[in-house]
Amino acid sequence: MEHSFWEERWQRGEIGFHQPHIHAQLQQFWPGLSLPKGSIVFVPLSGKTRDMVWLAEQGHKVIGAELSELAVRDFFKECGLTPTVTASGPFHVFEAGPYKIYQGDFFALPADALRGVAVCYDRAAMIALPPEMRPQYAEKLASVLPPEAAIFVISIEYPQGEIKGPPFAVAQDEVRALFGKLYDIDVLEVRDGLAASDNLKKRGVTRLEEVAYLLRRQA
């Protein structure tokens, strides 16, 4: 999937994938991780999700990675923050308050950018990628996250062929195939997500399940 696809979506305001509310499964299961305040959370393909604001409100530092400069600037503007911007390799790094967002290609992110990360929170990264890119995504996460970092994933499943992604349906078997060699995978919940997904209903999805996973690196 070309970078221009996402850049054009943001430029045209075609961001039905952006949700103004905090994800219910994040609020439900995050306390069970028992992270101390000050822990660092990484959000890949972060867009301008308000989930980052909620994570910061829990006392965490948040690192994001996002391709679109417009999305990053919108995030800080909507937070009422004026970020400092520095160059770091192929990235522009935006920082203000508890937030640090690497604007650029996630697949070029160096491991030292994520030093100290306790949890990776993926609500809309894996499902944004077509099938042929998802193995590369899983390998990249495993290579840049600290070994002790858990991965909290919220994925979606819907009848294949009802719409053309993104977002793409990612089945539980695929999640296990992508991550199972390195991570123990716990399915926290499978829930009906159609009622809260007006955008996908309008596009023709008739059934939607949201699946929350917790992945921990095998010893």
120 pLDDT band, cuts 50/70/90, is very high
Q: Quick one: pLDDT at residue 12?
A: 60
Its pTM stands at: 0.92
Question: Residues 134, 105, 140, 77: what is their CA dihedral angle, to the nearest 10 degrees?
Answer: -90
Query: Omega before 98 cis (within 30°)?
Result: no
Residue type, 108: A
pLDDT digits (tens, 9 = 90+) for 5-55: 656 665 665 555 546 789 999 999 999 999 999 999 999 999 999 999 999
Q: Quick one: pLDDT at residue 18?
A: 47
The domain locations on the chain are: 3-217
Question: Long-range contacts: 111-117, Cβ < 8 Å, 24+?
Answer: 111/143, 111/144, 113/63, 113/88, 113/144, 114/42, 114/63, 114/144, 114/145, 114/146, 114/149, 115/146, 116/40, 116/146, 117/40, 117/41, 117/42, 117/63, 117/145, 117/146, 117/149
Q: 110 or 160, which is more confident?
A: 110
Query: Cβ of 44: how many Cβ atoms within 10 Å?
Result: 26
- Domain 3-217 sits in CATH at 3.40.50.150
Please check whether residue 49 is in contact with residue 22, taking contact to mean a CB–CB distance below 8 angstroms.
no
Residue 34 has which token pair? 């028992």
Q: Is residue 82 pLDDT above 70, yes or no?
A: yes
**SS3 for 73?**
helix
Residue type, 49: T
pLDDT digits (tens, 9 = 90+) for 141-196: 999 999 999 999 999 999 988 888 789 999 999 999 999 999 999 999 999 988 88
| Stretch 98-109: mean pLDDT | 97
